Amino acid sequence: MTPEAQARITIDALLTAAGWHVCDVAQANIHAAVGVAIREFPLSNGFGFADYLLYVQGKACGVIEAKKQGATLTGVELQSSRYAQGLPPALPAWRRPLPFLWESTGVETHFTNGLDPEPRARTVFAFFRPEMLLQWLAYLPTQASSGAAQGTPGTFLARMRAMPPLVTTWSSGGTHYQLWPAQISAITRLEQSLAANKPKALIQMATGSGKTFTSIGFIYRLIKFGGARRVLFLVDRGNLARQTKKEFDAYASPYNNYKFGEEYIVQHLQGSRIDTSARVVICTIQRMYSLLKGRELADEADEESTERIESLFRDPEPIGYNPAIPIETFDIVVTDEAHRSIYNLWRQVLEYFDAYLIGLTATPNKQTFGFFNQNLVMEYGHAQAVADGVNVNYDVYRIQTEVGESGAKVEKGFWLETQDKATRRRAAWQLDDDFEYRPEDLDRAVQTPDQIRTVVRTLQARWQADMFPQRQELPKTLIFAKDDNHAEKIVEILREEFGRGNEFAQKITYRSAQGGGTSPDQLIKDFRSSYYPRVAVTVDMIATGTDIKPVEIVVFMRSVKSRSFFEQMKGRGVRVCNPTDLAAVNPGEGVKKDHFVIVDCVGVCERDKTDSRPMDTKKSVPLDKLLQAVSLGNIEDEVLSSIAARLSRLDKDASDADRAKVVALSGGKTLRDLARGIVDALNIDATQDMPPAEAEQRLRDAAKPFAAPALRDQLVQMKRKADLVIDTVTRDTLVHAGFSEGSDRATALVQSFEDFIKQHKDEITALQILYSRPTRAPLKFEDIKALADALHAPPLNIDEGALWQAYATLRKGAVKGASQRRLLTDLVSLVRFAMQQTNELVPYPERVQANFKAWLAQHQQTGNQPFTPEQQHWLEMIRDHIAANLGIEIDDFEYAPFNAQGGLGKVHQLFGAGLPKVIEELNRELAA
């Protein structure tokens, strides 16, 4: 058999799987099915034979040129195009030349849609079903019309080039919506990218900057105006899918009074059937992978993070064509947190569908950019989001303890405790030798309650004094723990040290609801919108994606090595919270969220982090991740052998009750049987003479029992029974607690500001005037506004509130009013403080108030007539106007608040001929 003939066998199978009736010319019946593929079809004289001619509903529509495996296909396109022109004139055709062209080796397939403007070949996973081609062909011009059917462009690409203008503000149901500039740019640039036929696009938007709302906005337009038949929205955790579904349902159309979910069906896919009437399908990437593989996925697998699971697959089992889910099922695939979904295993899901691929991420890395062809249509980082008021900035408060920094040693003879991690049963243990442990052992192999207590006590003592001096109740606080046992202990100590009840602090992990407890989703909802809990302790369930805007303190009691994961965890605090929502969970406080505080208890902010992914992770991979990988089809030697070794170790220490559970859940196999089955399947001597398919099947049979979620859970529970040592002897001491300095954000921000004003003191009018004091040249509001605009613009992106907080962090005793709302005129105080014209950084209105009091006192001392109460009231309004606007002019009395109390006429009546002098003195003395 020639290589071309072998390729045609594969092509025949792919066509058949996609619903085509494949036949030779002699047996051809163009009405045998909706789609008929005829092999070796003779064309008009001079055109030769088409490897395959495709008929849809009795009319020719396309050709396939078959080549041997390994052949490059780009150079074959001219040949396919020539065949498309060679259909004998007497035969029926949808259009001449034929619109659909394929080149295929059976392994690689290129497709050109001649109905597109400027048709261009693209790689497709397999062949389309004939019904898909029929949908495209339905828009061909008819004899009665020179335009497309119903006046609508045929393909998605054609429609993208005729999109209506973007609506940026609208109202619906009494709610007003307005897109932020970054959201407008993201949607506009994405649509431009799609109209240019770019297959992939990446949107980078800072956490909390409305990434999901933006994506819902462009998805709505792509469906309504672009004619996208169906959109797949991929996430990697079930709680993120549920949150996204709620946001879709709440989205109000800018073009009518319908909610998204009222106008279009949005499916949260939790089973194994895609709703063909749904226009949006929200799904975890692990579920879609399992569907494409034709496997069931346990519900709990939707809730588990897929972070780095793909690194266990050196050679992942390839996805094959699944007739139940054709490649044209989705026109658009949106993958949230794209930096996690582009590797190895999950990458196959993204590349299966013939769809435009759109990535969303707050933390891209080099590999992310590469996967999306460097097509970054929107770049909107945290600094720009802060400058735009879309994010809030943060300060780092460091807590260091002796045990946390150096570990500890307990001398022999002392009694410690051990705790079974699974049952939590404790036992006493007297040391025969010294017991020494390092900081990295804390809360994994060793738990030191006094170390946790020291951190919590410090937080309890310092949160108000150092972080939020204006507050009476602890702001909403999120704590990241190392594991479930660590989280449990933190919650216990938090309640005790703060002297509060159960509702004060809650653990929110995947295990929260075990034993009939409150579901994690309900706990998250309570944390977001209710007074209690004040503190949520989690491991990684709330680490990414979950939107809890009122959080103002983020505590790291676990370290993180991944830069992307750290940025996501940190991002739980950056979200802006409107005063109404913040007041709802902080009643009576009258507060505004203008920053948040990272409390770093492990040095995570000081440690270098990496974007790289480990090449060999088997030795350190926990058992639950290995079992999860096998359940997804991984049968690699290293993974299976690692599981076999761990099962053997489990068997040595397992109780009779646990062994019996394993037998019941595995279909009669003991731990030893399971391990031996893997070892036998891996035995090279026994399998070397077998056909590869048979050897592979032996591995799959050995791994098959682990597909059962109940067995995997039992094995993980048994593994957790390794004892946790509890050091009740060591007393920890606080080494340091305070805001971080040195290379921190505050230092960098202040340095950038001070460098800027020095460099531009001769160019920017406001700086020229402030530097020229005490000549007292008049400083106008438009001058300070121009300075603010220069600071707000890239690359500085300096916000006055963040800058004030930075000075408060670095020079706490010299800064006043750090928690107050900033006015633009506060820039005057900031510049003077930076130039060392003042020793204290005081809000500009307070400086004006002090100058006003001094002016009043001087007025009385010089023997002038005292001001009447009504004059005094007007003088105070003038004072407040100067505080906000740097000065006052006669015309200003015609506007609020003066016009409501008589305006220019009233002030002339009160001050008479002395009014110009009063205004001149106040402008001079108050703004001094």
- pLDDT tens for 411-450 read 888 888 777 665 667 778 888 788 888 887 776 678 889 9
Q: pTM of the entire structure?
A: 0.69
Question: In terms of DSSP bridges, do strands 109-113 and 100-104 run parallel, antiparallel, or are they unpaired?
Answer: antiparallel
Has residue 605 got a pLDDT over 50?
yes
- DSSP, residue by residue, 704-740: GGGG-HHHHHHHHHHHTTSEEEE--SPPP-EEEEEE-
Q: Is the pLDDT of residue 363 over 70?
A: yes
Higher per-residue pLDDT: 678 or 927: 678
Structure tokens at 894: 């015609």
pLDDT at 776 > cutoff 70: no
Average pLDDT, the chain: 85
Q: What letter does residue 93 receive in the DSSP assignment?
A: B
Residue 146: predicted pLDDT: 36
Instruction: Say whether pLDDT at 275 is over 80.
Output: yes
Which segment, 320-334, 499-513, 544-558, is predicted with the most confidence on average?
A: 320-334
Tokens of 867: 């001001």
Q: Which residue has the tokens 């989280």?
A: 487
* H or E, element range at 283: strand 280-284
Question: 347: pLDDT confidence band, cut at 50, 70 and 90?
Answer: confident
Residue 613 has pLDDT above 70, yes or no: no
Burial level of 514, CB count in 10 A (0-12/13-18/19+)? exposed
Query: Looking at 75-84, 454-463, 696-705, 722-731, which range is the least confident one?
Result: 722-731
Residue tagged 């040592």 (tokens): 725
Task: Determine how β-strand 175-178 pairs with β-strand 169-172.
Answer: antiparallel
Among the listed ranges 305-309, 773-777, 900-904, which one has the minimum average pLDDT value? 773-777
Residue 616: its pLDDT value, please?
Answer: 36
Ordered DSSP codes for 155-188: SHHHHHTTPPPPP-EEEETTEEEE--HHHHHHHH
pLDDT tier at 145 (50, 70, 90 boundaries)? very low
DSSP letter string over 581-629? HHHHHSTT------EEEEEESS-TTTS--B----S--GGG--HHHHHHH
Structure-model confidence comparison of residues 496 and 692, the more confident one:
496
Mean pLDDT within 76-91: 92
Helices (H), ranges, 372-483: 382-387, 402-406, 449-462
Residue 337 has pLDDT above 60, yes or no: yes
| Over residues 510-535, mean pLDDT | 79
* Per-residue pLDDT, 148: 38
pLDDT for 313 equals 64
Q: Is 735 exposed, middle or buried (0-12, 13-18, 19+ CB in 10 A)?
A: middle
**How big is the chain by its Cα radius of gyration, in Å?**
34
Per-residue DSSP letter, 142 = P
In three-state secondary structure terms, 537 is strand
Q: What is the pLDDT of residues 214-271, one digit of tens each?
A: 999 999 999 999 999 999 999 988 888 998 999 999 999 999 989 999 999 999 999 8
Q: Is the per-residue pLDDT at 818 higher than 70?
A: no
Cβ atoms within 10 Å of 454's Cβ, excluding its own = 26
- Tell me, what DSSP letter sits at residue 442? B
Contact predicate 106/14, CB 8 Å: yes
Of 547, 492, 550, 484, the residue nearest 513 (C-alpha): 484
How far the first Cα of the chain sits from its last, in Å, is: 95
The angle subtended at Cα 705 by Cα 699 and Cα 706, nearest 5°, is: 90
Q: What is the DSSP letter of 783?
A: H
Question: What is the mean predicted confidence (pLDDT) over 655-661?
Answer: 86
- With 70 as the cut, is the pLDDT of residue 849 above it? yes
The answer, yes or no, to whether residue 745 has pLDDT greater than 80, is no
- Average pLDDT score over residue span 637-655: 80
Q: How many CB atoms lie within 10 A of CB 396?
A: 21
User: CA dist 185 to 46, 379, 490, Å?
Assistant: 52, 10, 43
Burial 641-679 (b: 16+ CB within 10 A, else e): ebbbebbbebbeebeeebbebbeebbeebbbebbbbbbb
What is d(CA 733, CA 129) in angstroms, rounded to the nearest whole number?
A: 69
Could you tell me if 394 and 573 are in contact, meaning their C-beta atoms sit under 8 angstroms apart?
Answer: yes
For the segment 149-164, the average pLDDT, to the nearest whole number, is 74
**Cis ω for the linkage preceding 533 (within 30 of 0):** yes
Cβ of 235: how many Cβ atoms within 10 Å?
A: 29
Dihedral class, residue 141 (left if φ above 0, else alpha if ψ from -120 to 50, else beta): beta
Please give the angle made by the CA atoms of 839, 840 and 842, to the nearest 5 degrees. 150
* Average pLDDT score over residue span 59-68: 95
Which tokens sit at 765?
């009018």
pLDDT of residue 194: 96
- pLDDT at position 35 is 96
Residue 742 has pLDDT above 70, yes or no: no
Q: Nearest Cα to 15, choosing from 34, 2, 31?
A: 34
Measure Cα distances from 193 to 2, 196, 515 in Å: 42, 5, 50
User: Is the distance from CB of 746 to CB of 739 less than 8 angstroms?
Assistant: yes
Contact 111, 124 (CB under 8 A): yes
> Residue 514 above 60 pLDDT?
no
Percentage of the residues of the chain whose pLDDT score is greater than 70: 89
**pLDDT grade for 311, boundaries at 50, 70 and 90:** low
Q: What's the confidence (pLDDT) of residue 149? A: 38
Confidence label for 617 from pLDDT (cuts 50, 70 and 90): very low
* pLDDT at res. 327: 96
Only one residue has tokens 């394929």, namely 102
DSSP-assigned letter for residue 539: S
What would the two tokens of residue 631 be? 């359940």
Query: How much is the pLDDT for 442?
Result: 79
Q: Is the dihedral of CA 658, 661, 665, 670 positive or negative?
A: positive
| pLDDT of residue 20 exceeding 80 | yes
769 touches 780 (CB < 8 A): no
- CA–CA dist 677, 729 (Å, integer): 46
